[in-house]
Structure 1
Amino acid sequence: MPEEKSYYTDARKRANEKYLKETVEDIRIRVPKGQKKVIKAHADTQGESMNSFVIRAIDETMERDKEE
């Protein structure tokens, strides 16, 4: 079987890491067992990733909280 060619070079890896370091921050959350599956299923039905869904949920909640 022929060896698969990887186009993910060390330079590409470094460029990706630099881009992520400059543009995003990580937040880790913990949910009760089974909740991740529920969140993922809901995000899928909305046609978005879990990350996009969580960001949208936070943004909408913060906007709603400003109105109170």
Structure 2
Amino acid sequence: MSNSERKTEYNIKYAKDKLKRIPLDVQKEKYEEIKTAATAAGKTVNGYIKIAIDERMERDANTQYSQT
């Protein structure tokens, strides 16, 4: 087995063990907006969405603590 095949096998195993896919459907126009914003920020669409989720979760957590 070549190094390339071992790397591919490792990547597949890693993805199965450590990652969870989240399907996300958006209208084509909305995708283009997201892609434009991601490109302007120097990010991939996937990376941009992950950052947006993290920021929202942090904001929600901070709001939750300030209300108690």
Please give the range of the TM-score, normalised by the shorter of the 2 chains.
0.7 to 0.9
* Secondary structure, counterpart of 1:64 in structure 2: helix
Note the residue ranges of structure 1 that are not aligned, 5 or more in a row: 1-6
Q: Distance in 1 between the 2:35 and 2:28 partners?
A: 13
Q: Structure 1 residues 66 and 12 mapped into 2: Cα distance closer, same or farther (>3 Å)? A: closer
Note the residue ranges of structure 2 that are not aligned, 5 or more in a row: 64-68
- The answer to whether structure 1 residue 54 and structure 2 residue 59 are counterparts is no
TM-score between the two structures when normalised by the length of structure 2: 0.73
Matches within 5 A, 1:15-54: 15-54=10-49
Aligned residues, how many?
A: 62
Q: What RMSD over aligned residues (CA atoms) do the two structures have, in Å?
A: 2.0
**Residue aligning to 2:58:** 63
Which letter does structure 1 place at the counterpart of 2:34?
I
**Counting helix residues as a fraction of each chain, which structure ranks higher?**
2
Which letter does structure 2 place at the counterpart of 1:67?
N
Identity %: 32
